[in-house]
Structure 1
């Protein structure tokens, strides 16, 4: 399964978001540090979900990273916009 699909599936399962956008930005970093040639190294996630209400910014980030478990270790960059 492509990494982008795995990220989206895990976040949908964990948070049932009202809004979810996962963007593969790897093409913008071709040849830079962290580019392994797979085209699956740099991602941006924008997610809005009710479970984040009342959570601090750090708690929201930790919750997303927990849902993604091993994915951050398989990508070089993961930009998060969580609300």
Structure 2
């Protein structure tokens, strides 16, 4: 299963988001640091869910990272836009 599909599955299960967008930006980083040649090393994530409303920015990030489980340790970069 593609990393982006794993992310989507875990985030939908954890948050039932109103909006979820995962963009694989690995191609933009080919040959740069962290590019492992897999084509799945750099991602941009945008998620919107009511559960995040009362949380601080740091709490939102920690909550999303926890929901992703081991995925962050298997990729090089993950840009988060959480609301």
TM-score, length of structure 1 as denominator length: 0.99
Q: Which runs of 5+ in 2 are unaligned?
A: none
Q: Which runs of 5+ in 1 are unaligned?
A: none
RMSD: 0.4
Which residue matches 2:41?
41
| Residues 7-51 of structure 1: per-residue CA shift (max 9 Å, x gap) | 011000000000000000000000000000000000000000011
Distance (Å, rounded) in 2 between the aligned partners of 1:16 and 1:26 = 26
Which residue matches 1:54?
54
| Mapping for residues 62-73 of structure 1, pairs under 5 Å | 62-73=62-73
Name the count of aligned residue pairs: 83
TM-score, length of structure 2 as denominator length: 0.99
Which residue matches 2:21?
21
